[in-house]
Structure 1
Amino acid sequence: MATETDDTEAAGAALAPRALLLTHIDPAGIDRGRLIPRAGIESALANGVHASISSATMFTPLDQPVDAVGLDAVIGDLLLRPDAARLAMIDAPGGWAWAPADLCWLDGAPFFGCGRHAVRGAFEALEAEGLSARAGFEIEFTLADGDADNPAPAHTGPAYGVRPLLRNEALIRDLLDALETAGVSPIHVHAEHGLGQFEVSLPARNPLDACDDVALARLIIERISMRHSLSVSFAPIPPVGAAANGMHLHLSVSRGADNLLAPADTGLPGQVGMSLIAGVLDVLPAATALLAGSEASYERLRPGRWSGASLCWGAGNREAAVRYVSGTADAGASSANIEIKPGDSTANPYLAMAAILAGATAGIVRGATAPPPIDISPSHLSADERAERGIRSLPSTLVEALDVLGASDTLRASLGDELVDLYTAVRTPRA
């Protein structure tokens, strides 16, 4: 039972952290971080923390340094600048706090490889059109015991069942407590289709906060799993279980109080909402490299895995790359949104978000026309029928996806040539 002394110590830790975990997600999709002891927190918040350019942004997913966009992997420094507005306690009794970092040049100017800066830029372009956006992610992950040779999944089903929740009740209770302490209250947690697989659905926020929530939630999921002697995998193809892990992005865009994706009399969005969907579909082939950032991602991104491998959209269609969610009668028109399904946790969520916002904005600005929705699984159609309905496949390999990204005028204009080229250099597979 907690005592008054315990409560006082926890409150004191929340006000004066003993340590600050400062993290950012680099172009390789890896969470990099620095732990700042209590004595250095004030200085870190005011002045930032030095880091080499290579360690912050120029490592491949296998931790190989690369030269790119005129930068030498052994030369140069950046500042990691904590966003104090997002500081959160991840362990109140222990006094550990967390904050995301912006990447800046030493003079304080934004570094072109900073994902948080990319989201801000894409959101500002949307706001310039008199629009606002809200977004949230669903994170799938797989839990197993710590046996390296023969790991056993944390549950054996049934899929979407109650038993997996009951079997892991202590872990889930601690996970919910930790997320709420950190200021991220999930919409729900449920067992997924695969053995040992779960999903945490995060609430809709402004786009930058939504991406920060992903970084924070994954940190907490991993931390709580370790405390329960379980290993966690966010990989698109996990080491145990049969189901692939995705990270789905939900997006709605509004003009004032009007949700552009709210269903009209037809049950589908109005003209501007349809242009939004068209813009997202147009950018998706290039954005696939940002949403699905590993070679393993393309094992997941196949028909039949509910991964959205087919470039089309439809109401409630989980095999379409873009699933239209019209909302519910109780929640009203404000809950209507689109779900972008091809993404997984190998992505840098900030860059994925920035790309989708860029596509949505471009579609609205030019009044793009969306193709008709698809009301059947594309795999149930013949090749001729898919061609007739304009259904194409997204890139099937990372190399192909990176080539399409490199040729995208929309994403080069939004993200900048240097960021696109840095991302390509870091993500290109090596022998």
Structure 2
Amino acid sequence: MSEEMMQTTHVENPAWFDGKKINETMFCEEFLRDYPMVTVNDAFFTVNGRVHDENRLKKVIYDRIKYYVTSGVAKKVTNLLDVMRMECCTAKLSLYQDRIHVVNGTYYLNGTFSPEKDFCRNRLPVAYNPDAPQPVTWLHFLSQLLEPEDILTLQEFMGYCFIPSTKGQKMLLLIGKGGEGKSRIGIVLRALLGSNMNTGSIAKVETSPFARADLEHELVMLDDDMKLEALPQTNNIKAIITAELPMDLEKKGQQSYQGDLYVRFIGLGNGVLQSLYDRSVGFFRRQIILSTKEKDPNRKDDPYIAEKMCAETESIFLWALEGLHRLIDNDYKFTVSQSAQENMDAAVSDGNNIIEFLSSEGYIRFKADYEVSSKDLYAVYKLWCDDNALSSLSQKSFCSFLKQNESRYNIEYTNKVNIGGGRYARGFVGIELLQRPFL
């Protein structure tokens, strides 16, 4: 809500007041002529983006009617707001992925700029200034925080967050031991995105039935202190990261509805996301994991570094815009360094030690024309876990993973493994045991 909306002028006999009561329809029509808005899923939008603070909107309405209503004022303000919600309701407010709405106009990804403003879901609080200088403080900060190739990834992801798109199908995690300064990235993002960024817990997205609705119309969800506890499920996170169709959203005390989610996740913490039950590579494939550099013991921290970087937002915007153009030119494939790839591989292994077992030596080997029962293979897997001081996954998870990855390991699930005595059991063709299972 802009400051100009907070200003009102007392009119002696407005057309919407007959001396006894307010004509609600006429009041809303006049109000919307003065301050054009539309609503989508009950949320108000102006040319400056979403109206996040409806209390300020109520204050403007109150200032207009307080001279004419002497009792039940709060109820009347609420009623007028509800009528206005219906008056300016629109079926859809288009999401454009070819432009970025900034405070001084509209930047088009073809390189053109217009000072014109249209109704939009998100308008950034930063101005487009093609003559802004290099963000010297920001670039120096990043050189101390990340390796050069990983800086390119961050540049692309920050630019990716400017448009309402999920084409990149990734979330970004920055992990470190602590004290490196990675939380300052969140402060800079807030300066770039303003109220278009939600801060909270990624874990809550999976545990709260109302968390998804809180992310509607948001460009970014930042978790600046990720919990290390394993997620009870990953369905919501995976669905949001790759969302291309409206999703079912639910607000407390309201009927669920279909809404667009295009929020991008950024997590800062000391470890990667893990899942209690999801052992699929797909969960980790949606993550880009960047490791921060260890803090230089001789580094002198500047307590005003965040303010200095926020003063460079116009320059940082151009820097991130360069990353967005590079990402689009590469068909939304992010630059991923060897280190980042190794981080993902390690996260996959940590989250599912079956993968590490299948690549181990001395326990099994993949060999055509050999077969093994699920029972015997699981027993050797448990032996490997004991030898490596690891907790074994359940037999159901173990067998399910192998069946889902038959082609990856060139094995075949069967229910005709000969276990002697004329008996046949379930198992796999293409695996030879090198250890005697302890049954």
TM-score interval, normalised by the smaller of the two chains: under 0.3
Higher relative contact order, structure no. (Cα contacts within 8 Å, ≥ 6 residues apart): 1
TM-score by length of 2: 0.23
Given the two structures, how large is their TM-score scaled by the length of structure 1? 0.23
